Amino acid sequence: MGASARLLRAVIMGAPGSGKGTVSSRITTHFELKHLSSGDLLRGNMLRGTGFPRTLPQAEALHRAYQIDTVINLNVPFEVIKQRLTARWIHPASGRVYNIEFNPPKTVGIDDLTGEPLIQREDDKPETVIKRLKAYEDQTKPVLEYYQKKGVLETFSGTETNKIWPYVYAFLQTKVPQRSQKASVTP
């Protein structure tokens, strides 16, 4: 194979709100991105965190085209994701976004600057979030089983991205050259 580095073809999977976007951006910070690309389509999907492939036929087609080396599955309890996703409230007129956990308004349900009521987007309402999570689970179960059978599935479980990341990082270090020796395991 000579001196050229071998590509690692990796897919990141996880429910909406599981931290795919954060993990993807950390991977591109700490490792050579070109070693993680499976073509522009996948790179675009990875950076947008859209979690392709979502269905078994997509996974099979992707595997035929690219021979996926590893699938990083972020396994975060639904209850945690639900809390994460339903914590977002918006002031419609200004577009200001509050998060009950990280950036709460001074008064619950009220915009700090105008005193007007905050709303929750349809996507962030608990019943919608539960539906989305259930749909994700139903759709991707066969995909995860497929990758498990292929022997390429690596599942990382936890409730916080900062606690999952060091394990993902250590795993990838065994597979991919780092961007620089200075890159550390901290976010």
**163 in a structural domain:** yes
Alpha-carbon span 163 to 167, nearest angstrom: 8
Backbone torsion region of residue 67, taken as left when φ is above 0, otherwise alpha when ψ lies between -120 and 50, otherwise beta: left
pLDDT of residue 167: 97
Task: Give pLDDT tens digits for 105-119.
Answer: 999 999 999 999 999
Strand partners of residue 168: none
pLDDT bucket at 35, cuts 50 / 70 / 90: very low
pLDDT of residue 109: 95
Q: What is the mean pLDDT of the chain?
A: 83
**In this structure, what token pair is assigned to residue 18?**
């599981």
**140 in a structural domain:** yes
**181 in a structural domain:** no
**177 in a structural domain:** no
**179 in a structural domain:** no
Query: Total domain count for the chain?
Result: 1
Contact 122, 132 (CB under 8 A): no
**3 in a structural domain:** no
**In this structure, what token pair is assigned to residue 117?**
């009521």
**184 in a structural domain:** no
pLDDT bucket at 19, cuts 50 / 70 / 90: confident
Q: What's 133's domain CATH number? A: 3.40.50.300
pLDDT of residue 50: 53
Range of the domain at 70: 8-172
**182 in a structural domain:** no
Alpha-carbon span 156 to 100, nearest angstrom: 26
Q: Is the pLDDT of residue 146 over 90?
A: yes
Task: Give pLDDT tens digits for 21-34.
Answer: 788 888 878 876 55
